[in-house]
Structure 1
């Protein structure tokens, strides 16, 4: 039971509250330190995410040969023949004369019943169209490419479900539909190529007039063309030669000429994007390690926030959060390593090459902290003259004796930094025991719990002492009153 000032008239609660403020100061310092550590951990993780994003972006562009082997193809008659580079490493030129385009095989049934509505197609059973089934029947349809579509027809099947089974069969190579105008079933091979659609003879095929004299079969054809003097064929109008996709569109009377060249614009665009992303990262990391630390602005406690306006809290915490990564050795070391990487020559098959040979150099102003500048004219010239050398500079694979191209070394450098930061600050979902800052925060939480227990015990002791004092004074007052009453009598 707490007695507050009944005998003394003192505001015991306020006195104890003021006394506890002094005892809480060490706890507030631990709490502030923990809050600052949390902000620091969040900033480390943010940096790590940004580094990871750029690492994968660089790997997926500058680390791939395809980025530097992009080609443009000039064609004398693009309406007849289309050509584009898909996975080409060399140049491609010559002529194509198209004698015949590839076509798809088709199969039409004899007339069944004209003008059936979609509802009738889905409701009319095959038995109503003359199909008599005493047991389930397997129907096999073979396309010109040898692919087989196999379905099972039951007595419950309608014309609609029969066609759906063909269209939706696993790896179906046939499309089929019912034409209400003619009353016929039409089948078409999904792929072009020489040959006919064949259907297993049986009750279903015969009754639906898909075989026999009433069925009409049209064979598919291969594409026939002359490529650089070689007369040849393909089952499709679209095919690949030496990493170039060729698309035959029309029969031609004269050869169509073509020639490829490096797609300088796209390669330049990729390199410029890499430099822009790199410069942005360099700027952000330098801002982090040079951000001022305002030691007079410590994290606010809940009690302090009660006496402040929202804008005041925002401005205060902006200062308090500043400088969490100031002079961080991991980030500073990363920046040094990257500056060195961007200046080192790379051994290629045609000799040592550096970014400087591509017109990419560090900005001379020391305030730019190692950002890169590009002379696009020099870059275009290097790409035009030797695109493979540009590829090797960025994406040459690493070996036991060679560290590889810039993008490969960039990935390794970033991997190392990711690992160091993760060991220090963890990642989202990390268990606190698995990284250094997590273990520190766990220790602080334990300190806070122990300190709060001690404060509670201290506060309880103060209350007991003040209560005892109040009770003693109250007894003394009672005794004094009794004596006065006795003397008064």
Structure 2
């Protein structure tokens, strides 16, 4: 704590504070530059995030061919046959008549109950309830040592072999069978039987055999080795249907033809007619969303690079803020933060490229956005924003969805730039890269981007300047302290002299 003015009566602290304010002016200017640079850095990063988000949206909508291949289906009997487009590139029409649905193979073992009327389970001399039976170990059921089972079901490439220790429970064995084989198995407490059904439909039977090489026969122990007879098994069957006059079969009731997924639901319900058409509303929705996102991006970026710079409104220091109201600070900083990206060449170049790609024909085609009713707004103040003639766009989607798709999604090559969405994303990525080089991203090390290095330079300048200010302030305090001491000594001498003169009179 420093106290001055005891000898002189001067307010030393405030005098030095006022003198230091003049010395702080250059430091304040550096601090203002650093603050403005931070605002600029934040705006670059925000712009980069917004560009990336817009790029992702475009890629996920009009950047996908599937967006333009969406179909509506007209089906005469949807209860008998379901049809939906999955990867179709053309239209689909005709008739289907289902003769037989595909079914699953199934199999059951013999009952563990004592009899049809006696629902007790007695195995290996032990009596179990249904719950106890499921939680019993193989050893409890009289299967000692390692045991094995082999299961082969329709729709699987080969039999699956499983081995179990006798400490495994019936429940864990069935869970393993369900997880690793092509069948679903469960113990039915109502019949006392283990039932097995194929996970896939299709012709064939479920084959279950016991272990080999001296291992216990688990199939026999679980009463699943009974002969395949109508009494304890059901063969799977293929679906039989006639498609546009062609009688054919499938192992599943759900299959794909020409990019359309067909689901057979009922047999012997007569011919079912169908036809597809472009889903104009859904495609329109995606294209309109693209145009809205594009226009929003254009508006925001143009506003940013044309934002005025108010040179009379510099960033406020902490001292200046102390004397201002909150609303005054807000209004001041609104102007002080303006113009951080004014006339930025990277953004301006990107906007120019965007305007060009929206008016040019797509490489490899004879079409442009104009051909589907999308054109730049003629008012130059709109800076190339797009407008849609919905009648023309609907007509293009309905009559030639492949043309619309090509305009947006045609692949790029060594000689062709590709569709609008492809070029759009490429331009966004290039701009992102340039801005990241300049402004980095959240978490970037300062030395890895241009503005970060400049910011670091300002921080070092501020640090050195503050050290010099401390030295200057200490020097002032020493000078004023020396003056105080000198005046104190003079006063003491004067008092002594006066005392001596007064005493001699």
TM-score w.r.t. length of structure 1:
0.93
1:308 maps onto 2:304 in alignment: no
1:407 equivalent in structure 2: 421
SS of the aligned residue for 1:486 comes to helix
- Given candidates 165, 184, 192, the residue that maps to 1:175 is 184
Asked if the contact 2:102/2:250 (under 8 Å) is kept, the reply is yes
Shift of 1:60: 2.5
Which residue in the other structure is 1:445 paired with?
Answer: 459
State the partner residue of 2:480.
Answer: 466
- C-alpha contact 2:357 2:420 (8 A) present in aligned 1: yes
Q: 2:464 is paired with a residue of what secondary structure? A: helix
Could you say if the C-alpha distance between residues 336 and 117 of structure 1 is closer, same or farther in structure 2, counting changes exceeding 3 Å?
farther
Asked whether the 8 Å contact 1:223–1:233 carries over to 2, the reply is: yes
Equivalent runs, 1:358-397 vs 2, <5 Å: 358-397=372-411
Is 1:163 aligned to residue 179 of structure 2?
no
Residues 85 and 243 in structure 1, CA contact (< 8 A), matched pair in contact too = yes
Higher deviation after alignment, 11-20 or 70-79:
70-79
Report deviation, 1:480: 2.3
Instruction: Check conservation: 1:99, 1:252, Cα contact below 8 A.
Output: yes
In structure 1, stretches of 5+ residues that fail to align are none
Q: What corresponds to 2:149 in structure 1? A: 139
TM-score relative to the length of structure 2: 0.90
Q: Distance in 1 between matches of 2:374 and 2:2?
A: 78
2:253 is aligned with 1:241: no
Is residue 88–residue 243 contact of structure 1 (8 Å, CA) maintained in 2? yes
Q: Contact between 1:359 and 1:378, CA under 8 Å: does it hold in 2?
A: yes
Which whole-Å CA distance do the structure 2 matches of 1:417 and 1:54 have between them? Answer: 13
Structure 2 equivalent of residue 191 of structure 1: 200
DSSP-derived class of the 1:139 partner = strand
Partner of 1:346: helix, strand, or coil?
Answer: coil
SS of 1:200's equivalent?
A: strand
State the match for 1:322 in structure 2.
338
Alignment of 1:192-211 (within 5 A): 192-201=201-210, 202-211=216-225
| Partners of 2:363 and 2:417 within 8 A in 1 | no
Equivalent position SS for 2:418 = coil
1:338-384 CA deviation, whole Å, 9 max, x = no partner?
Answer: 122111122445xx212111111111222222111111111111122
SS of residue matched to 2:233: strand
Distance 1:205 1:6 in 2: 108
2:452 and 2:302 map into 1 onto residues whose CA distance is 26
CA shift for structure 1 position 94? 2.0
Q: Return the alpha-carbon distance in structure 1 between the equivalents of residues 33 and 134 of structure 2.
A: 73
What is the Cα deviation at residue 12 of structure 1? 1.0
Provide the secondary structure at the position in 1 that maps to 2:218: helix
Q: Distance in 2 between matches of 1:295 and 1:412?
A: 36
CA contact (8 A) 2:149 2:162 kept: yes
Matched, 1:120 2:120: no
How many correspondences in the alignment?
483
Aligned: 1:269 with 2:297: no
Gaps of 5+ in 2: 114-118, 121-127, 211-215
Residues 1:117 and 1:12: Cα distance change in structure 2 (over 3 Å): farther
For 1:220, what is the secondary structure of its paired residue? coil
Question: Over aligned residues, Cα RMSD in angstroms?
Answer: 2.1
Aligned to 1:50: 50
Deviations 1:24-75 (A, max 9, x none): 1111111111111111111111111111111122122222221222222222
Aligned equivalents of 1:119, 1:481: Cα separation in 2: 113
The answer to whether the 8 A contact 1:348-1:392 is kept is no
Instruction: Please tell me whether the aligned partners of residues 145 and 191 of structure 1 are also in contact (alpha carbons under 8 angstroms).
Output: yes
1:282 to 292, 298, 306: 298
Displacement after TM superposition at 1:462 (Å)? 0.7
Contact 2:364 2:416 in 1 (8 A): no
Match of 2:163 in 1: 152
Q: CA deviation at 1:184?
A: 1.4
The aligned counterpart of 2:270 is 254
CA distance in structure 1 between the partners assigned to 2:325 and 2:105 by the alignment: 79
Which stretch shows the higher mean deviation, 8-17 or 62-71?
62-71
Q: Structure 2 CA distance, aligned partners of 1:412 and 1:207?
A: 65
- For residues 484 and 30 of structure 2, the distance between their equivalents in structure 1, rounded to whole angstroms, comes to 35
Q: Distance in 1 between matches of 2:374 and 2:219?
A: 70
| SS of equivalent residue, structure 2 residue 205 | coil
1:389-411 superposed Cα distances (whole Å, 9 cap, x missing partner): 11111111122222222112212
